[in-house]
Copies of this chain bind each other. A is one copy, B any other.
Amino acid sequence: MGEFDIIREIFAPLTSNAPGAFQLTDDAALLDVGLVVTKDIMVSGVHFLPKDPIDLVARKLLRVNLSDLAAKGAKPTGYILGCVWPANVKRHSIELFASGLREDQEKFRIALFGGDTAVHKLKTAPLTLSATVFGAPPKLGMTMRSGASHSDDLYVSGTIGDAGLGLAALKKEEKFTTVDKASLLGRFHLPQPRLSLGAALAGLATSAIDVSDGLIADAGHLARASNLRVEIDAVAIPRSPAAATWIASKSNRWRAIAKLASFGDDYEILFSAPSSMRRSIAVAAKASRTEVSRIGVMKRGEGVALLDEKGKEIAVPSGGFDHFKSA
């Protein structure tokens, strides 16, 4: 039983065909008053490490939600917060958490509108957080997860796999230089929601999703939403200097790239656009000061293929990140 099965089989029917719920297949809902709404939960031990600094956890909570709005081209305005604290929480921790929220509220110009807060009975029960973040849809209409056509280009912003390497560094599963480690930890703790790029892509991108489950898994979601297949050119996947060094240290280069593309928590925008739009995409990327890489193409068929430089398919770790399976 996976998270996606649960959502599709048990919860999607509860949308009662409300059009703006998109059968729970998109990153966000569109309410008919003209509001894009998304929600992400973060649980200690599942989505973040118990020792992660709590002000950074607060900022990540906002940013993972802002990333969903970014992929839809929406302009965030505010959020509703839910917190359930361990039984022995100290006031200082809550204040530090709030200071993180304040910092990113100012950065992203959003405000807290309401919420609820409670305390677990048990000291061992984990800090559980949620944010429902909302914003205005782009004037040209919300960019949907579906809508790609056969032969559309596939693009991704930023670099891929850094947050996953950061997590591996935190868990002492991988070793890095001090400089690389700092940069990778930064990517894990403080993703950059691509709000400017997402807004610039409204009306240009035919489909978009934010990369949270891993590039390959989310490419699969994007393909499925348009009943298409995705082919990704492995060498075109953008990687940071730290990730490039890490790949070079591995005996099997393709396996290392496939692993990078299977980590979660990138919070980049993965999107499609017709090849006639290449110039416009470049302009949008430049205007929003965001690196964008063309990494593949949408094809007839289904599934995701990661291809080496000879066009041969590379084996990828199955699944991608699923909190139900990894829990």
Contacts and interface: CB of A to CB of B under 8 A. Distances in A.
A158 interface: no
A46 interface: yes
Interface string A84-97: 10010001001100
Interface residues of A, number: 66
A113 B21 contact: yes
Contact of A39 (B84, B102, B116, B324): B116
A320 to B, nearest CB: 15
A115 B11 contact: yes
Interface stretch (A121-129, A180-188, A290-298): A121-129
Interface of chain A: mostly helix, strand, loop or mixed: mixed
Contacts of A262: none
A38 B114 CA distance: 7
7 contacts: A3-B119, A10-B98, A18-B111, A33-B34, A39-B116, A116-B130, A121-B327
Interface of A: 1, 3, 6-7, 10-11, 13-18, 20-21, 24, 28-29, 31, 33-35, 37-41, 43, 45-47, 77-78, 80-82, 84, 87, 91, 94-95, 98, 101-102, 105, 111-122, 124-126, 128, 130, 132, 134, 323-324, 327
